[in-house]
Amino acid sequence: MRSFATLAASVLLAFAASTRAAFDADVESTAQAVADAIVSFQAQNLTPDPVPADVFQPIAALTVTYPQAGIVGVGQRAPKNQVQDQPTYSLNITSGEAANFRSKLFTVIVADPGAPSSNYNGLVVRHCLGNNFTIGSDGVLKNTTALVTSYMGPAPPAGSGPHRYMHLVLAQPSGFRAPADLSQPNTPLVTDWNLSDYFKEANLGPIVAASFMIVQEGQTTASTVTTAAEPNTASISATAAQLETKFSSGASSTAAPTGTNTAGGSGGNSGAAVSSVHIGVLGVSVGAIFAGAASLLL
């Protein structure tokens, strides 16, 4: 579990990001916030499974704000009764990324892979799925179409351990069409969803911003629950330094993979060179360079 100091730093980073101009965010604080998310996802074993490493390429700081709980930072524990209503999502983006984000539509997903487990099957509970989000001048994401799966608040079974509820923001390809079975409003929550398969089927990605919160019901009694590692502050600092270099050079990109959208329509940005942040920490490569590797998502 995250130490108080580490968690406090995460919340402060989220607050600092949320108070800056959405499209002119401070490079240093944005890099720190994004690095915190990257390293925390790795420490919790949320990537490469269930979140594929080649899709997990955050380059924006995501602030998740609930009506009751307020801002919930990366890895923060949240009382179940305070996170039952749909949150607001806002992104902070460096000026070098502004044009990319203004021209994109985004998919937002909330998913629960459960507590860290010795027999994890790679599936998640889908708590929310929405497409065609736009980003306003204030950085707030707003959906222009009805949610496919409306937000359902956390309901971890008693004794099942600390569940990790992931908030993922993905770039949609040009001509995006949702897969037929996940295209209509009021599609219910499911407990056996494969994120990797869905990303490939919908030709979605990369994940440009991410966070997660922890909700637990009672003391852990499940024997398969394992203890997640504490995010390493040295790794966060090293990752932040690499991100600062990327942000300053303008080397990162929100571009979606090239090719054909398998769900229908003309997917991708045909012929476009696609670059992304490529960070390696904790011995794991987070994100692949999309140029020449787009076929992984087709």
Quote the DSSP letter at residue 85: S
Choice between 279 and 114, residue whose per-residue pLDDT is larger: 114
**With contact defined as beta carbons under 8 Å apart, do 109 and 208 qualify?**
no
**With contact defined as beta carbons under 8 Å apart, do 123 and 50 qualify?**
yes
pLDDT tens for residues 198-207? 999 999 989 9
Convert 46-58 to b/e letters by CB count within 10 Å (16 or more is b). Answer: bbbebbbbbbbbb
pLDDT tens for residues 212-267? 999 999 999 988 888 887 888 999 999 999 999 988 876 665 554 433 343 443 33
pLDDT, position 254: 59
pLDDT, position 127: 98
Distances (CA, A) of 4 to 69, 74, 164, 236: 18, 13, 18, 16
> 164 falls in which pLDDT band (50, 70, 90)?
very high
Mean pLDDT, residues 68-76: 96
Residue 293 pLDDT more than 80? Answer: no
Residue 3 pLDDT more than 60? Answer: no
**Would residue 186 be called left, alpha or beta, if left means φ above 0 and alpha means ψ between -120 and 50 degrees?**
left
Work out the mean pLDDT of the chain and round it to a whole number.
81
Rounded to two decimals, what is the model's pTM? Answer: 0.81
Mean pLDDT, residues 32-57: 95
Mean pLDDT, residues 125-134: 97
Strands (E), 115-162: 124-135, 141-143
| Number of domains making up the chain | 1
pLDDT, position 274: 29
Q: Which range of residues forms the domain containing residue 13?
A: 4-297
**With contact defined as beta carbons under 8 Å apart, do 186 and 128 qualify?**
no
> CA 143 to CA 120: how far, in whole Å?
32
Query: Smallest Cα–Cα separation from 171: which of 258, 237, 238?
Result: 258
**With contact defined as beta carbons under 8 Å apart, do 194 and 292 qualify?**
no
Residue 100 pLDDT more than 60? Answer: yes
> CA 154 to CA 3: how far, in whole Å?
23
pLDDT, position 23: 65
pLDDT, position 285: 36
Residue 281 pLDDT more than 50? Answer: no
> CA 170 to CA 107: how far, in whole Å?
5
Residue 131 pLDDT more than 90? Answer: yes
Is the omega angle on the peptide bond into residue 173 within 30 degrees of 0, that is, cis?
no
CATH label of the domain that carries residue 194: 3.90.280.10
Strands (E), 35-162: 61-66, 70-71, 76-77, 88-92, 106-112, 124-135, 141-143
pLDDT tens for residues 167-200? 999 999 999 999 999 999 999 999 999 999 999 9
Residue type, 8: A
